[in-house]
Amino acid sequence: MKAAPHIYTLTGNLLAERTLEFATWAPGKTQRATSESFQVGGKGINVSKMLSRLRVANTALCFVGGTAGAECEDWLRTHNFNFRSFLCEENTRTGTVVRCAQQPETTFLGQDRAPSASALAACADFLNAQPDGQILALCGSFPGWAHSNFDPVREMLERWMQRGILIADTYGPSLRWVSERPLALAKINATEFRTLAEDVDSIATSLDTLAPRWPVARWVISDGPGQVIFREERRAAEILRPPVVKEVSATGSGDVLFACLIDSLFVQRTSLRQALERALPLAAANAAHAGVAEFPEPVA
């Protein structure tokens, strides 16, 4: 039997994140949290966390800098991530999550941090040195994508598509770039799809009309707790709906979905429909619990 490929997740905009729990809170007042915790955020980190839960071999790649970056590296080591970090001059982005039982979860994100030229070159060198036949997942935003600093990464990606598998859950300039290349899978949300396609009424109809323009093998377009539209090459778009749950925190649910799709499509080698039928209940279960990839297995 052919060995399963190794998965590399690349997070372009890491987050040093603190969660503050309150009994109640309101703007304009000084308030004291009842508890505080630290975690590392970023789409690729979340995807790697779920892949590890699924027992899929993976390495999380990220850019770190300053004291916040060092704290992120310590957290990743403590939580047994297999990771490789690339050092930047600027401090890693920070953020705060505020939770209260009586109010919706609120997240405050610090300013995006573009990776430095040296870190991007080091990342490209590392991935160029990996064996053929592996999978690289581009995850989240990539601040500074249009800058020449990203040239080594873009050149590496062009080579990677000749010798491995490239997949993406990204947005902004990086999404437009990858959509014009032979991705094995693009998993985005409805808002991101609308940045690629003008005058979108029905996403399914638009996807059938526009997908032939792009050399992407599989599309998955989510719309929060609503429908998921998916399409494989030379097939009409189809729709599935996730289970209805009482949402506690939607954070990371799309990343759980992406990780499950990676496992099903490229390790278990199922169809896209089968992959989604497995992934959607797990993504919904994640939304029904706090944390990312920390939910109990849903009951069938």
Letter for the amino acid at 208? D
Three-state SS at 231: strand
**pLDDT tens track of the chain, all 300 residues?**
577 899 999 999 999 999 999 988 888 889 899 999 999 999 999 999 999 999 999 999 999 999 999 999 999 999 999 999 999 999 999 999 998 888 888 889 999 999 999 999 999 999 999 999 999 999 999 999 999 999 999 999 999 999 999 999 999 999 999 999 999 999 999 899 988 887 667 888 888 888 888 999 999 999 877 899 999 988 899 999 999 898 888 888 999 999 999 999 999 999 999 999 999 999 999 999 988 999 998 866
Quick check: is 100 in a domain?
A: no
Domain that residue 230 falls in: 7-12+42-67+117-287
Quick check: is 241 in a domain?
A: yes
Are 249 and 289 spatial neighbours (Cβ–Cβ below 8 Å)?
yes
Report the run of H or E that residue 45 belongs to, with start and end. helix 43-53
Quick check: is 264 in a domain?
A: yes
Letter for the amino acid at 66? G
Quick check: is 195 in a domain?
A: yes
Quick check: is 20 in a domain?
A: no
Q: What is the pTM of this model?
A: 0.94
Quick check: is 86 in a domain?
A: no
DSSP code of residue 57: -
Alpha-carbon distance of 58 to 44, in angstroms, equals 11
Alpha-carbon distance of 238 to 254, in angstroms, equals 18
Alpha-carbon distance of 227 to 273, in angstroms, equals 13
CATH of the domain at 46: 3.40.1190.20
Least Cα distance to 243 among 286, 284, 288 occurs for 284
Are 84 and 6 spatial neighbours (Cβ–Cβ below 8 Å)?
no
Quick check: is 153 in a domain?
A: yes
Domain count along the chain: 1
Quick check: is 180 in a domain?
A: yes
Report the run of H or E that residue 15 belongs to, with start and end. strand 15-22
- Buried b or exposed e, range 145-180, using 16+ CB within 10 angstroms: beeebbebbeebbeebbeebbbbbbbbbbbbebbbe
